[in-house]
Amino acid sequence: DTGVSQDPRHKITKRGQNVTFRCDPISEHNRLYWYRQTLGQGPEFLTYFQNEAQLEKSRLLSDRFSAERPKGSFSTLEIQRTEQGDSAMYLCASSTRQGAETQYFGPGTRLLVL
């Protein structure tokens, strides 16, 4: 499967714990996006990377959230001191600058904070 992959697919954690999610984009895609989706809502943009550079962050990305893409390939999203309000689906998408620049989404990581 050469699509976007995310790991883990599900994560249950206790409030106050730290969690880290991984995204592997489509191999030739240099652009990577993180979104958050809560029940009954569409995905909301969190942050964007072009290669290894983090070029934009949403105001939704509080200081407890950090994202990296150290080698311009896979990316990690870490949430520190998780809160119940962080419970959501975290989606990763990738795209390439060529053509219509369609964003292809991974299956998501579903986070539940107890």
Partner 1 sequence: RKEVEQDPGPFNVPEGATVAFNCTYSNSASQSFFWYRQDCRKEPKLLMSVYSSGNEDGRFTAQLNRASQYISLLIRDSKLSDSATYLCVGGRASGSARQLTFGSGTQLTVLP
Q: What's the min distance (Å) between Cβ of 105 and partner 1? A: 4
- What is the distance between the alpha carbons of residues 17 and 32, in angstroms, rounded to a whole number? 26
Q: How far is CA 101 from CA 3, 31, 42, 60, 96, in A?
A: 15, 9, 20, 24, 6
- What is the distance between the alpha carbons of residues 30 and 64, in angstroms, rounded to a whole number? 26
Q: What's the min distance (Å) between Cβ of 97 and partner 1? A: 8
CB nearer to partner 1: pick between 40 and 85: 40
Q: What's the min distance (Å) between Cβ of 44 and partner 1? A: 7
With a CB cutoff of 8 Å and minimum separation 6, the contacts of 106 are 3, 4, 5, 6, 23, 24, 91, 92, 93
Q: What's the min distance (Å) between Cβ of 80 and partner 1? A: 25
Structure token digits, residue 58 = 């949403």
Write out the residues near partner 1 by the rule CB under 8 A.
31, 33, 40-45, 48, 50, 55-56, 91, 95, 97, 100-108
CB nearer to partner 1: pick between 37 and 80: 37
CB nearer to partner 1: pick between 42 and 70: 42
